[in-house]
Amino acid sequence: MIISSISKVFIPATSAFIIGILFAPILTHYLYAFRVWKKSEGKTALDGTRAVEFEKLRSTIHTGTETSTPRMGGILIWFSVAFVTFALWVLARLVPIPLFEKLDFLSRSQTWIPLFTLLAGALMGFVNDLYDIRPSGERGVSIRVRLLFVSLVSLFIGSWFYAKLDVSAVGIPADGSLMLGMFIVPLFMLISIGLYAGGVIDGIDGLSGGVFGAAFTAYAGIAYFQNQVDLAAFCAALAGGILAFLWFNVPPARFWMTETGTMGLTMTLAVVAFMTDTLGGGYGVAALPIIAFPLVVTVLSNIAQVLSKRFRGKKLLRIAPLHHHFEAIGWPPYKVTMRYWIISVVSAIAGMTVALLK
């Protein structure tokens, strides 16, 4: 059987989706059996004060969901991707026939780094979620520790890009490239931290799944057209796992993604953007603000809210980040989610166009 390169991308995506769908009942059983949700409601605002408006919103629209909806749904995503990745790798070695050898996409040059990043972020996020569901009601691992973790991992990966892969520039559409030298490392760290901050988009049923699914589908397409087929297959598998999660996360959500999903996904998105830049002869970094536009807007809305309260003495938005502001002014949650999905798809298409400019 001859497997085309596009089949090598589609089969892992479909497989990850199927594995996710089959694994979901098992995950659901244990999440509910062990009551994997917050034991008390409430949230702290960005400036450390009590989030009064958010609590009002929760009491009118999302009553009781924080203390009844399981967290850690992101396990479904990274488990599905890891299962498919390693299963195809094992099959290629135990059953060395052309079919399995062709489907194996675990390669040192294209998938080791993003897979490591996904699993490292997922593990740290899992630890945070464990702390978040303790009976004491404590709010997870401190944000400083999480930011330190993201910084250290991105420092390591950024240094690997620079020292081992000779990445020292980012592509500039219609203008070649911008040489940064060793400053490529702090740029990667900054982008990783920024994307991680956008992980708070996991705040409405179905929202984060649609946004991340569109982003990784876009990068799967970009990597494929750059002939980085293994990387494309990995991104496609991620999109498949995310869609399986989304199947159970649409309102009313069976479980939420939380940090074990968002930390790994945001950090991996930064890695994939850099791997589809000069390494792939494209503009993956320049396309990132477009493809990840909903995440960028989420971060900027938080920053704008904090600055407005500090320097103007009043809030710019009813609630930050922006998707909760839309809820606060009367948009039903499903309307916010679906409009973000539309924007995510349009952004993905526009970003792919930019990334593949010649």
pLDDT digits (tens, 9 = 90+) for 252-281: 999 999 999 999 999 999 999 999 999 999
H or E element in which residue 60 lies: helix 52-60
| Residue pair 244/17 in contact by the 8 Å Cβ criterion | yes
Whether residue 287 has pLDDT greater than 50 = yes
Confidence of residue 1 (pLDDT cuts 50, 70, 90): very low
How far from chain centre, in Å, is Cα 97? 34
What per-residue confidence (pLDDT) applies to 293? 98
Distance separating alpha carbons of residues 28 and 11, to the nearest angstrom: 26
DSSP calls for 214-260: HHHHHHHHHHHHTT-HHHHHHHHHHHHHHHHHHHHHSSSPSS---HH
What DSSP element (H or E) covers 345? helix 333-355
Q: How many domains does the chain have?
A: 1
**In which domain, by residue range, is 279 found?**
5-355
Residues 73 and 79: their CA atoms lie apart, in Å, by: 10
User: To the nearest whole number, what is the mean pLDDT of the chain?
Assistant: 92
> Where does 95-228 have alpha helices with state H?
98-103, 112-132, 143-163, 184-197, 207-225
Considering only residues 238 and 3, tell me which one the structure prediction assigns the higher pLDDT: 238
CA distance 117 to 267: 7
In the numeric block, which tokens belong to residue 6?
């596009």
pLDDT for res 2: 46
What are the structure tokens assigned to 57, written together?
């919103």
Mean pLDDT computed over 95-120:
95
What's the pLDDT at 47?
54
C-alpha 52 chain-centroid distance: 28
Q: Which amino acid is at 178?
A: L
Strands 177-179 and 169-171 turn out to be: antiparallel
Whole-model pTM over 0.85: yes
Find where tokens 């009491």 sit: 59
Contact 271, 157 (CB under 8 A): yes
Of 65-69, 186-190, 284-288, 343-347, give the lowest mean pLDDT range.
Answer: 65-69
The separation between CA 12 and the C-alpha centre of its own chain, rounded to angstroms, equals 18
pLDDT tens digits along 108-157 = 999 999 999 999 999 999 999 999 898 875 678 999 999 999 999 999 99
Place of tokens 């598998």: 237
